[in-house]
Amino acid sequence: MGELCSLPVKYQRRGNLRLDGARRWPAQESRQLRPARLAKGNGTTWAEALPLILAEDSTALVHLPVGKISRTFKNPRGTMNSRRTIIFCAIILVAIFAAFVVWPRAAVTLQDEAPQKKQPTPTIDEYQPKSTLVTKEHKLERAKFPFIDIHSHHWNPTPEEVGRLVKEMDTINLRVMVNLSGGTGEELKKTVAVMKGRYPDRFVVFANMSYDDLNTPGFGKRVAARLEQDVRNGAQGLKIFKNFGMDLKYAGGERVHVDDPEFDAVFEKCAELKIPVLIHVAEPSAFFDPWDYHNERWQELKEFPRRARPPAKYPPFETLMTERNHLFAKHPKTNFIAAHLGFHGNDLERLGKLFESYPNVYVDIAAVLAELGRQPYSAHDFLVKYQDRVLMGKDIYEVNEYKWYFRALETRDEYFEYYRKRHAFWRIYGFQVPDEVLKKVYYKNALKLVPGIDARAFPE
Ligand SMILES: [Zn+2]
């Protein structure tokens, strides 16, 4: 109720909505029409004026709206009935004339309005407005510089898949692909062999932790030892998946916290081996919020209801952030790459503070491009300010989707559609960063963090 205007009750029902849409209230109406002298001017229709003119015995001043025909009639009380008839006829003629002029327009207006009344309201899926915006477009098929994709997933790829991958990578200037899904032990060895074995300078493989023996004492130390072996077998980093901190539980049912001391040995080992940890903690904060019409990721939660993180089953978003930041603080010599802008893409100021607090923290932009693209000015300034901390990544591999990243990073194109509607029902904007920043995001930061990538394939 508070947002509705509060008119006195007697006016609320008597308000007269005219065809031209102007609302006139009774008090105003009587003030305009009641006087004996009636001026036909703005705000009074002929339909309203006619009965009054005819009924009014006193003097009526009528300004006819037809140019020079406009005349003033003086009609004293009780005289010249025949003259009144002439006036009446003249008015009727003018009214007919006016009707002929106005009618076709009114008919068109009614035609325009008619389909709107018949059409049902579309659902959010059905409503696909086509933008009429005409503006410069730069649809880039290739990155301006060779780049490293720090965030990709290829589970147990076959040699044929890898061969195809390399051909596709060449078409978009993707120089080095980091496969975060290397696994551990024999699986990792196989993945390294099939990717790096044939294309040593095109692929990087990260190892993962196995939680099979989580409930056996000494788990953390064993993971650290396995990781050391994986690195010997060709792994160049550790990737931690999102179940860590959320779904992963001890046999007793207790959730493994992101900063669980059991894992300290693993993170210390990463520092010792000088390999980065790419870690996915939590999910977009909207997944932790109620699934209602105010939720920014309503569409995605409708398509994938299991992505919701209701409080009955999951720790709150902020709890996970606190644990994550504690992890960063505990291991200052370990380099962390927080996946997906650390899920602060919707709050770059907060992400900036995170960078200021923890010099060992970096982020990738995988699958969160729409966050940057909806705030091009902030995104540009953020990337310029924190150019040493942000890495190019894509997540789900699809060669035809990288071009959105190129377009956003390299152009100032405006208001273009994003490739995944469930991530963003909004359109995005390019935030074109200077070449020096672009080089850092595309490859220089990754070269600094990931050991063993041949820098000679990249420009200075
Ligand atoms: Zn991923």
Q: Which domains does the chain have, with CATH numbers?
A: 9-74 (no CATH), 147-452 (3.20.20.140)
List residues bridging with 149 in a β-sheet.
177
Distance 181 CA to ligand 1 centre (A): 9
Per-residue model confidence as pLDDT tens digits over 401-445: 999 999 999 999 999 999 998 898 899 999 999 999 999 999 999
pLDDT tens, position by position, 236-248? 999 999 999 999 9
Between the CA of 167 and the centroid of ligand 1 the distance, in Å, is 22
The C-alpha angle with vertex 459 and arms to 454 and 460, in degrees rounded to 5, equals: 95
> Is the predicted pLDDT of residue 61 greater than 80, yes or no?
no
Output the CA 16–ligand 1 centroid distance in Å. 60
Question: Residues 267, 327: contact at Cβ < 8 Å?
Answer: yes
Burial class (CB in 10 A: 0-12, 13-18, 19+), 436: exposed
Is the Cβ–Cβ distance between 142 and 400 less than 8 Å? no
Lowest-confidence pick of 85-89, 187-191, 452-456 = 85-89
Reply yes or no on whether the pLDDT at 350 is more than 70: yes
Q: Which residues touch 202 (CB under 8 Å, ≥6 apart)?
A: 166, 169, 175, 176, 177, 195
| Confidence (pLDDT) at 12 | 38
* Interval between CA 207 and ligand 1 midpoint (Å): 13
Percent above pLDDT 70 for the chain: 76
455 alpha carbon to ligand 1 midpoint, in Å? 24
Q: From ligand 1's centre to the CA of 153, what distance in Å?
A: 7
Distances (CA, A) of 282 to 307, 324, 336, 342: 11, 9, 15, 9
Task: Output the pTM of the full model.
Answer: 0.76
pLDDT band at 187 (very low <50, low <70, confident <90, very high): very high
Is the separation of the CB atoms in 287 and 281 below 8 Å? Answer: no
Q: Using CA atoms, how far apart are residues 106 and 281, in angstroms rounded to an integer?
A: 61
244 CA → ligand 1 middle, Å: 13
Label residues 114-134 b or e (16+ Cβ within 10 Å = b): eeeeeeeeeeeeeeeeeeeee
Distance spanning both ends of the chain, measured CA to CA: 64
Distance (angstroms) between ligand 1 centre and the Cα of 34 equals: 75
